[in-house]
A and B are shown apart, each in its own frame.
Chain A
Amino acid sequence: MSEFQPIRVESLVKRFGSFTALDGLDLVVSPGEVHGFLGPNGAGKSTTIRVLLGLYRPDAGIVRVLGKDPAHESATINRQVSYIPGDVALWPNLTGGQVLDALAGLRGSRDEAREKELSELFDLDLSKKVRTYSKGNRQKVALVAALSAPTKLLILDEPTSGLDPLMEKVFTDQVRLLAERGRTVLLSSHILAEVQNLCSAVTIIKAGRVVEHGDLATLRRLSLTRVEMVADPSVLPQVTTELAESGIKATGDGTRLVIQVSTEQVPAVLGIAASHQIGQVTCEPASLEDLFLSHYQES
């Protein structure tokens, strides 16, 4: 691979005793990309992120972040990384402003103007003690610190957890702005709309392995097409039978039938609908939710 990749993981293995949390995971994030990192609970997302930050030691595999090995050079790497953890931990007796001062002091670099701007955008009162903040406000402190720090790479684990919809929009706008300025973002989130809006590529993991990866447009093209028919209840059973004879499974609730098929099967489905003169037919590429849920569900 000739292009420099901010994150490159090959065959990563991580065990905790007899439990294998990551089982040969691969992950590549290209420069300037907003890369979605998804998976069900317990899939290994947070474990992967902790390996990238040098908090966990891998048992096997190659891990490079900004070209360096986090197992040996995490301090150098992390000065160029902004991180938001899944559970934000802050010093409870400090104010929000003092937390920003502390984090900037530890990092050794700061953009105070940007901090001020983001604090206003996120409507965050920096004069209050952390322990008086709601979950959402603690999250905002972490967001202001991460988004304002002059770094090259952002690793965000459930960054909008606890935020109201308005603040989620502020977050989305800011990440988009950072991406336009060339920053690379690894975004781990369960909010599929957020991933769909922001990410140009995704990696889906399950049980410590990658089950899907690629740019979003390709994934959506390769995924199933969703066809929905609305018709008289007396017609739909016959339609269902004919679809079954073609090897196509349909689900319905009496007046509505939903079918998920590959692109090649769409004409056959539409033909059956037309033969029964069904006028209300909707045909669209499978949503991201359909795509992800097909991997989230147990096989």
Chain B
Amino acid sequence: MNSLWPSMRLLVRRCRIQILAWLLPLWALVASTAPSYEDVYPSLAEREMLVGAMRDSPGTRILYGILPTPGTIGQLVQWETGTYLVWCSGLMSILLTCRMMRGDEDTGLVEISRGTGVGRWVGFWAPVFVVWGTTALLGAGISGVMLAERSTVEELTVSGSLAFGASITITGWGFAALTALICQLGRDLTQARGTAIGAFGVMFGLRVAADDRDGLSWLRWVTPIGWRDIVQPFTDDSWAPVIICTLAALGILGIAGLAFGKRELLSGYLPDRTMSTRRWRVHGFTGLWVRLARSGFLGWGAGIGALAALFGAMTGSFTDMLAPDSPTKVWVDKMADGSAVKQLMTLLTTMTVLLVASAAVRRANTLAQEEREGLVELEIATGMSRARRYWVHLGLVVLEAIMLTGIAAGSLAWVTSSQLTTDHAVARAAVFVLTQIPGVLAAIGLAMAIVGLVPRLASVMWVVIGWSLFAQSFGGLVDLPDWARDLSIVGHCLDVVGDPEWVPLAVQAGIAIASLLVGFFGFSRRDVGS
């Protein structure tokens, strides 16, 4: 374990931006939720209908789990916001562990550091300690925020706040341990990360099964996503599960450590199924791009389709709660305009399209990544023109985004049709998604502009995505000015009734075209790979 502490410091230094990019927005999310609930639902009596509907809705049970009764502010926060925190804690742990443990091994950093005398086990324990420390910090911050808000939200308790933070922490620890094990199984970072995210999906499914069937409630112990529901923050505030789940995570780490001890550098236990070994007939860059991007498209398509279907399943119960003058209606009125169905569809399609935009931005940014890796230089050296490289890449990103949007629209409309058919719900499900394509194109355009001009700043585009999420989801709740809420790539669409509002879509289309051209100008003029 030679040089463990310096290695940990180096990891924190290298990943500090990423870590803060996760922690700060999540703490802000927690800080905004409890006061919002208090504002809209000051008393338990006003929450009664909401709580009943949320407990009965199959869609919300699948997404968030079972809302505990009687539905105090703390219980609502740990149920709704807590679900997002559980997911983010898990995904953060997965992505950080993969990057620090397997990513550094693949890029040769582990080899070079061991060449300086760093202990062999540092490559395993340094990432584990850093990620565990990060999730502990997340949990501590959550508890701190909740404790601070007790001065304005009376229903929050000390033990509940501490248990809430602890439950998010152990979720992160569980996923970090599981990912550490998967990193030993996978042959490289890509396989490890893909397997870990797939495992995240399986863990989510286990939690859903545990909530759905009484006889399967024990499954909550098997999945880190279910550990919060065992701790029951703001209900039972059980600390025994915190200790047991921590020990379970340590047990998984032990197994991961054994696997690490026996594994050769740059090897893995799983078979290599990344790509077939058959020889290709490649015709130009388009053919190559399609072959390389195929599996990623299938993964995103499946994920987006599933999420849209989940949202569709939630539509049946939501509109019951949005009766005129109900507290929920008052709250939702801050987030979207129009009838109950229109408001519901606006919120659901906004989230769906944001996921499509995230996939599109990620794909657009691969041009910057491939330039960094030297692959663009290789392609240009074979006789590909810069213009062709840029426009073919862009065209395929746009085509993929349109296809993903179609999948989202189809999935949401199809499932909605089984839950809700009043007030043009099904048509709105499809049209709201499809008419947000200009927003997705604007996101692609902005990403390509950054990649074309200053590729090392490609990750800045995630600030735009993050802002769009915040502005559309919470902008109304925190009384964001209209102009700030409109600065979003999602949330602007056409309705199936009334006069169409073309202006926002035209503006987004204009932004898309202008920024694509700026990106092309930059890419064709600047040095490649400098």
Contact = CB atoms under 8 A, between A and B. Distances in A.
Q: Which of B374, B383, B528, B529 has the most A CB atoms < 10 Å from its CB?
A: B383
Interface string B278-289: 011111110110
A16 B277 CA distance: 42
Contacts of B388: 75
Contacts, number: 106
A42 to B, nearest CB: 15
A131 interface: yes
A107 B281 contact: no
Contact of A106 (B106, B282, B530): B282
Contacts of A106: 282, 284-285, 288, 379, 382-384
B292 interface: yes
Interface in A63-104: 74-81, 83, 85, 87-95, 97-98, 101-104
Interface in B245-289: 272, 274-275, 277, 279-285, 287-288
Interface in B365-411: 373-375, 377-386, 388
Q: How many B residues are at the interface, by size bracket?
A: 35 or more
Interface string A104-123: 11111000000000000000
A61 to B, nearest CB: 15
A75 B280 contact: no
A127 to B, nearest CB: 6
A176 to B, nearest CB: 23
B9 interface: no
Report the interface size class on chain A.
35 or more
Contacts of A105: 280-284, 287-288
B18 to A, nearest CB: 22
A173 B384 CA distance: 30
Contact of A89 (B285, B373, B525): B373
A107 B287 CA distance: 13
B526 interface: yes
A4 interface: no
A124 interface: no
Contacts of A85: 374, 377-378, 381
Given A85-B378, A89-B378, A105-B280, A129 B274 contact: yes
Contacts of A104: 282
Nearest to A86: B374
A74 B385 contact: yes
A55 interface: yes
Given A75-B383, A75-B388, A56 B530 contact: yes
Contacts of B525: 57
29 contacts: A55-B377, A55-B380, A56-B528, A57-B526, A74-B380, A74-B385, A74-B386, A75-B383, A75-B385, A78-B381, A81-B381, A81-B383, A83-B381, A85-B374, A89-B373, A89-B377, A89-B378, A92-B188, A93-B275, A101-B280, A101-B282, A102-B280, A105-B281, A106-B379, A108-B284, A108-B383, A127-B277, A129-B277, A131-B188
Given A78-B381, A89-B373, A91-B292, 10 more contacts: A55-B380, A56-B527, A56-B528, A81-B381, A85-B381, A87-B374, A89-B378, A102-B288, A106-B382, A129-B274
Interface pairs A-B: 3 shortest CB-CB? A105-B282, A89-B374, A79-B383
